[in-house]
Amino acid sequence: MAKGLKVATIGGGSSYTPELIEGFIKRYDEFPLTELWLVDIEAGKEKLEIVGNLAKRMVEKAGLPIEVHLTLDREVALKDADFVTTQFRVGLLEARAKDERIPLKYDVLGQETNGPGGLFKGLRTIPVIIDICNDMERLCPDAWLINFTNPAGMVTEAVLRYTNIEKVIGLCNVPIGIEMGIAKLLEVEHERVHIDFAGLNHMVYGLDVYLDGVSVKEKVIDMLTNPENTSFVKNVKGLGWEPEFIRGLNALTCPYHNYYYKSREMLEKTKKEAEEKGTRAEVVLQLEKELFELYKDPNLNIKPPQLEERGGAYYSDAAVRLITSIYNDKRDIQPVNTRNNGAIASLPDDSAVEVSCIITKEGPKPISIGDLPVAVRGLVQQIKSFERISAEAAVTGDYDKAVLALSINPLTPSDTIAKQIVDEMMEAHKEHLPQFHQ
């Protein structure tokens, strides 16, 4: 580290990169980055150059001594890195489009993280992340791996179980989004609100809510179930929870819970949208095209506001916040995906969980929550089972395990339909699933 701080970003050609750059610029005082290596694969070369050049212009405008390197050589990028961030997408958005379209044919939600889409994204991604970890072991064994790539829970689980990299953190913007939503509901500054989070990635619950350190959970639950707040809640939560359900649960849900506690409505909605305006991947594909056109503009030297529409708000910002807290041993509380280590009683100690942690220079230390509320313990366990069997299938290339993983997923209506979807998706993603096609 003599020569300064080095970050390597795998999938550096992503349209998200300007946000990451903005994050590094904003927090430069606390995190004096020296070298940022944006690395991508041959097929992403053109995008890498477009977004990389924008990155360089942004840094130049900020007047900061950060070197931005663009490369297709992952080893060079990883060598002696202090932090590695991953935001790549095996098979690009075209693959996601298939993840969404194919299950819909069977009247099943694709769901890109904990559904059939997530399974196949995991099957494509996990072998690559394991490769990266093996490289890291040789080239930068002390680096932290900050993974944004979805399904972030499954990927973190796979790194913990199937590689020697222990310094891994999975990151998601969902918890911070919930906190900001609640702050808005309470009409207070975000900084004054704190939520105890526990669960899994995209399956996380807010177990308590504090305003200036004092629990206001009861009040928040009241507000969320008050018919007069309906319009707000509908807006925040999507489809609107039944007050009885939320009062009975006595915990805050995350937007992804709609897939599990509102499966039928979500299926209808998703089918309708897919028909009318395309699946999310298809919409984003178009958005990305437009973004890259903007990025090409040699006069553009800031993050264009249109990027916010792309989704993933706060994502890269959250990442830089996390990195900064590690680097400075800040000991603040952030919800991240890390090894459970007993923090959530009924989940395995060695599994990845998403939980409020103290962020130290030695990594996140989870706050002990005891056990999850009875009502949510089952679904969380089920998604963990799904993640574990999926990761196992990804690593072993065991076809039976892939069918099993999808059969036990709560979104799948039967083993037979699971098998049909797996068969069709295995074929459609053949190119990116070498472990199943030998």
Q: Which stretch binds its own copies (CB under 8 A): 59-67, 112-120, 273-281, 364-372?
A: 364-372
Q: Does 379 bind its own copies (CB under 8 A)?
A: yes
Which partner from the list its own copies, Mn ion, none does 172 bind, CB cut-off 5 to 8 Å by kind? Mn ion
d(CA 363, CA 326): 6
Q: Does 98 bind its own copies (CB under 8 A)?
A: no
Which partner from the list Mn ion, its own copies, none does 276 bind, CB cut-off 5 to 8 Å by kind? none
Q: Does 224 bind its own copies (CB under 8 A)?
A: no
- Output the known binding site: 96, 150, 172, 202
What's the token pair of residue 289?
Answer: 């095209």
- DSSP structure string for 369-382: -BS--HHHHHHHHH
What's the token pair of residue 323?
Answer: 């990195």
Q: Which stretch binds its own copies (CB under 8 A): 57-65, 116-124, 144-152, 408-416?
A: 408-416
Neighbouring CB atoms inside 10 A of 179's CB total: 20
How many residues bind Mn ion, per CB under 5 A?
1
Which residue of 67, 137, 218, 242 would you call a contact of its own copies, by CB under 8 A?
242
By annotation, the residues acting in catalysis are 256
258 near 266, Cβ under 8 Å?
yes
Q: Does 172 bind Mn ion (CB under 5 A)?
A: yes
Long-range contacts of 46-50 (CB under 8 A, 24+ apart): 47/13, 47/14, 47/15, 47/292, 48/12, 48/13, 48/72, 49/13, 50/13, 50/292, 50/295, 50/296
Q: How far is the CB of 9 from Mn ion (least distance, A)?
A: 17
Which residue of 399, 428, 435, 436 would you call a contact of its own copies, by CB under 8 A?
399
User: Please, which of residues 248-277 interact with its own copies by CB under 8 A?
Assistant: 248-249, 261-265
Q: How far is the CB of 313 from its own copies (least distance, A)?
A: 25
Which residue of 34, 53, 301, 385 would you call a contact of its own copies, by CB under 8 A?
385
d(CA 130, CA 197): 28
In the block, tokens 């390197």 appear at: 69
279 near 97, Cβ under 8 Å?
yes
CB nearer Mn ion, residue 81 or residue 353: 353
Q: Does 123 bind its own copies (CB under 8 A)?
A: no
d(CA 353, CA 376): 14
